[in-house]
Structures are given as C-alpha cells and as structure tokens.
Amino acid sequence: MLYKATLGLLLLLSLSACSLEPWVKPYERANLADPIMSFSQDPLSQGYIHHVYQAREGARGAEGGSGGGCGCN
Amino acid sequence: MRAAQKVVPGAVVVVTKLSRLLLVLSLLLSCISANAAVLPFERADVLYHSYSGGGITINGPAVLVRKSIGDSVSVSAKHYIDTISSASIDVEVILGASTYEEERVENAFSVDYLTEKTLMSLGFTNSEENDFSADTFSFGISQDMFGDLTTVSMGYAHGSNTIGKTGDPNFSENSQSDNFNLSIAQILTKNLIMSAALDVTTDAGFLNNPYRKVRYVDTPTTFLLENEVYPKTRTSTAIALRTRYFLPYRAALHAEYRLFNDSWGITSNNIELGYTHPFTDNWIAEAHIRTYAQSRASFYKDLFPFSNAQNFLARDKELSTFSNSTIGFGISYEFAKGEGGFIDKASVNLKFDHIQFNYKDFRDATQTSFTPGTEPLYKFSANVMQLFLSVWF
C-alpha cells in the first residue's frame, strides 16, 4: 500500500516536475552563487572540524558538507 | 521467473523488491532538469591543524588536491596526519600520570563522474594507527532537478576496521560499518537555501576501546578497574536541517539543527548559528556559536556497584550525559583574483574555535581525596586552530 502510494506520488511528480517552472529563475541566483552561501566552502577544513566533534561526542552522521549544492552553476 | 519462483521464492522476493526500487529510482531521476550538476572546483588546500584540551594535544598537516580531467571527470586526493600526545583523564585513571604518543595517517582518493544529468562519486579512505586500521569504500550519486531548484544526493559507505592492542600481539579484533545517507538541498527564494539530511549507520563487531576500563566499588573508600564490555552492534540515525540566508548588504547568516538517536540509548541534538561578513574585496570574517547536548548510553555508569554488575559496561565519557558549547571565529584573505595565469584565486585562512565540555555524570576519578562517586564532575575546555592556504586553478 505504502509502495503504491509512493509510486503514485513519484509518477505524479515525474509528470508535473519535468515541466515545472522554477520560481527562482537562473538569472535571479547571483546571491545564491556567492561563495559565502555555499554549504561546503572549505571541504578540508570542514572535514577536520567534523572529525574534532565526532571523536568527542556520541553523535555521528548528517554533518553535511559533501553533496548538495545550490544548483547555481 | 516462474521456475525460479518454485525453486527459491526468497530470491524472487529480493528480485521483485529490487526491480521496484529501480523503478522508483528511475521515476525519481526522470524529473531532472535540462541543466545538470557541475564538477567540483579545481583547488588545492594545505592545512595545519591543532587541538589542545583535556590533557590531549593533536596537531598535524593535511593536504587536499582536486583536479578535473576533461569535462566529466574530477579526481581528488587527501593526505592527513594526526600527531597525538595524550595524558587525558582516561589514561590517567588507568595508567597514572603518564603520557602516550601516537600518529594517525589518513589517505583518501575519490573520483567524480559527471554525465549530462548525474554526478556520481566513488571514494576510498584508509586510516592507519599503530593499533587501528580502517578502510572505507563509498559511493554517492547527486542530481539536480525541478529546474535546478532541488539537488538530491544519496550515498552508501562500507567500512572495515582491524583493532589491535599495543603490548598484546595476540589481540586482534574486527568491526564493520555500513552507512546510508540521503540529502536534499532546496532553493526557497533568491536569498534563501535549505538542506535536509538523513544518515543511518550500523556497526557490528568489536566496538569498544581495548584499553579503556570501567571502575567499580571495592571498599567504601576505594574502587577497582575492569575491562569495558560493549554490545556487538550499534545502529544510529541522524537528521539535520541547515539553512543559509543572503542578507541585503552581501553577508550571510547560517543555521543548523541536528537530532541524533542510537540503539545504545543516546539521544542528542546540536544547534549552530553563524554569520559571514565580507569586507573590502579581499577579506571575509566569520563567527559562529554551537551548542550540543546528549543523554548517556543505557549501559554507561561512572561507578558500578560491584564487578560485572551488568552485561554491558562502559565508562567512556563520550557515552555519558554531557553538553558542550563552542564559540568560533574565522578570517580569510583572498588574493591573486582574476589576474590570469595558472591561478584563478587564492586565500589564506585562520580559524579558531573554543569548546567548553561539561559532564553531568562523569566524575574526575583522578581526585583521590574524595570518596569514590563523590568526586567533582569533570569539565574541560579545548582550543582548536586551523591555518590553511587554498588555491583555485
């Protein structure tokens, strides 16, 4: 049931989203493309600070930094 | 398929589930936009890091180089060294006031491949210490969709660890970890971006530190030590929300919240707020605060009432109830921008973080003038410094 609902939702999304008009146009993304808006500005530094916390806290994962992006080529 | 169903129905269920999963994935990926992701920037970083706090000093260099090969392949290599000098409270309780030194060397390689619509990554990391060896393979896929307003990324990593014990050549244990992660980055307005991440990690094997001990009551005024005993499995889930907002005068605010839970009974959350402010054409200043709090693992105790008091025993302060708070600053100076030649841009960066740890049920057992269990609660502060040079080319 859950599978069918998910499949239906994705089918709907795939039909509608391919023709979806982005509400933030590519030419409106100058601010988002500024390096100060990046989730991962300095990967080496970011990886180090995650390691500092991981070694001293019980929590782990979902630190972010890799992947993602703002799609502002 | 029908014949297979008669012989191995279990296999058919797996095949059917796999085909359904592939169908769902293909539908999801069919929504991609005409504009696709881009390869990561070509850059090189050389970093010196230093951590000092709680009787531990860790420092060393790190280098990361990323280079594109053609329009669709990017490779990266990382070399990282931790030189550790420790007389931490864990070591003091077990060995007395002695210091040990060791080194950890990590090497990592990755390849990113960009097709018209998809960015795929393969990675391998090796970490070596004299008593610990870890290999991790990872795979990731990232996709822009819905007019490039949304980026969906997912990944899987498998780690394999070999644990040794200095002074005991016969000691050899293993553990494995499997990690699944999913994240979605979403442009909400022309000044606001948000991301959500889900991470599930499961470990199996020898998960405790072979040196660390727990303490238990011997007489009303003394305690004795015995080895920790951890469960052989651990599964954790973390979810995180992050956002960045571009202010009207070219500055950025960022915020982060993460919630964590695991099968050992630890629940934690952390919040971070930060502000980035460029000034003149060359300088960028950044400041942030972060708070973290967690509950203890169900089998953690600072002082057990007697030997082998329960099936699992831990006195690792990272599994205790505690909180910490961080205040941090960073300053970057950018130069050689747009001057042509080999380098596009370079920057020199200095970052400093001060972290205060306050433990709620981990006591300072080195204070021998107290009756066991009445020592002051442990606390310490740490200073973390990074100095690095980045070059984009």
- Report the C-alpha gap between B243 and B253 in whole angstroms: 8
Would residue A50 count as lying in a domain? yes
The reply to whether ipTM tops 0.85 is: yes
- Report the C-alpha gap between B130 and B345 in whole angstroms: 39
- Residue B7 in 3-state DSSP? helix
- Based on the structure, what is the number of domains in chain A? 1
Burial class (CB in 10 A: 0-12, 13-18, 19+), B69: exposed
Would residue A52 count as lying in a domain? yes
Q: Measured between alpha carbons, how far is residue B93 from residues B360, B363, B367 in Å? A: 18, 11, 10
Q: Which of B86, B55, B51 is nearest to B364 (CA)?
A: B55
Instruction: Give me the mean pLDDT over the A16-38 stretch.
Output: 81
State whether B189 and A61 contact (CB < 8 Å). no
Mean pLDDT value across chain A? 74
- The minimal CB distance from A64 to the residues B187, B189, B242 is found for B242
Measured between CB atoms, does A45 come within 8 Å of chain B?
Answer: yes
Q: Which of B109, B154, B264 is nearest to A62 (CA)?
A: B154
Residues spanned by the domain of A44 = 27-56
> Are residues B246 and A34 in contact, defined by beta-carbon separation less than 8 angstroms?
yes
Would residue A40 count as lying in a domain? yes
> Which pLDDT does position A10 carry in this prediction?
55
A4 Cβ contact list (under 8 Å, min separation 6):
none
- B38-392: CATH, from 2.40.160.40, 3.30.1450.10, 1.20.1080.10, 3.40.50.1820: 2.40.160.40
Question: Helices (H), strands (E): how many in chain B?
Answer: 3, 18
Helix then strand then coil, % of chain B, to nearest 5: 10, 65, 30
B386 Cβ contact list (under 8 Å, min separation 6):
A45, A48, A49, B47, B48, B49, B50, B349, B350, B351, B352
State whether B150 and A24 contact (CB < 8 Å). no
Would residue A18 count as lying in a domain? no
> Which pLDDT does position B339 carry in this prediction?
78
In this predicted structure, the answer to whether residue A63 has a pLDDT above a threshold of 70 is: yes
What is the longest distance spanned by two Cα atoms in chain A?
A: 47
Measured between CB atoms, does A28 come within 8 Å of chain B?
Answer: yes
Tell me how far the alpha carbon of residue B52 is from its chain's centroid. 19
Per-residue pLDDT of chain B (393 residues; tens, 9 = 90+): 333 333 344 444 444 544 554 454 444 444 433 344 788 899 999 999 999 999 999 999 999 999 999 999 999 999 999 999 987 787 667 766 567 788 999 999 999 999 977 899 999 999 999 999 999 999 999 998 888 899 999 999 999 999 999 888 999 999 999 999 999 999 999 999 999 999 999 999 999 988 899 999 999 999 999 999 999 999 999 999 999 999 999 999 999 999 999 999 999 999 999 999 999 889 999 999 999 999 999 999 999 999 999 999 999 999 999 999 999 999 999 998 887 788 899 999 999 999 999 999 999 998 889 999 999 999 999 999 999 999 999
> Which pLDDT does position A65 carry in this prediction?
57
> Are residues A39 and A68 in contact, defined by beta-carbon separation less than 8 angstroms?
yes
Would residue A65 count as lying in a domain? no
The number of beta carbons lying within 10 Å of the beta carbon of residue B327 is: 13
Quote the strand ranges of A1-73, DSSP E: none
Would residue A19 count as lying in a domain? no
Helix pair angle (A2-17, B9-29), 10° resolution: 30
- φ, ψ of residue A26 to 5 degrees: the values are -55, -40
> Which pLDDT does position A40 carry in this prediction?
86
CATH 2.40.160.40 placement within chain B:
38-392
> Are residues B294 and B267 in contact, defined by beta-carbon separation less than 8 angstroms?
yes
Among A6, A40, A70, which would you mutate to test the B interface (most chain B Cβ atoms within 10 Å of its Cβ)? A70
- φ, ψ of residue B60 to 5 degrees: the values are 155, 175
Would residue A15 count as lying in a domain? no
Would residue A41 count as lying in a domain? yes
* pTM, entire model: 0.86
- The minimal CB distance from B47 to the residues A48, A60, A70 is found for A48
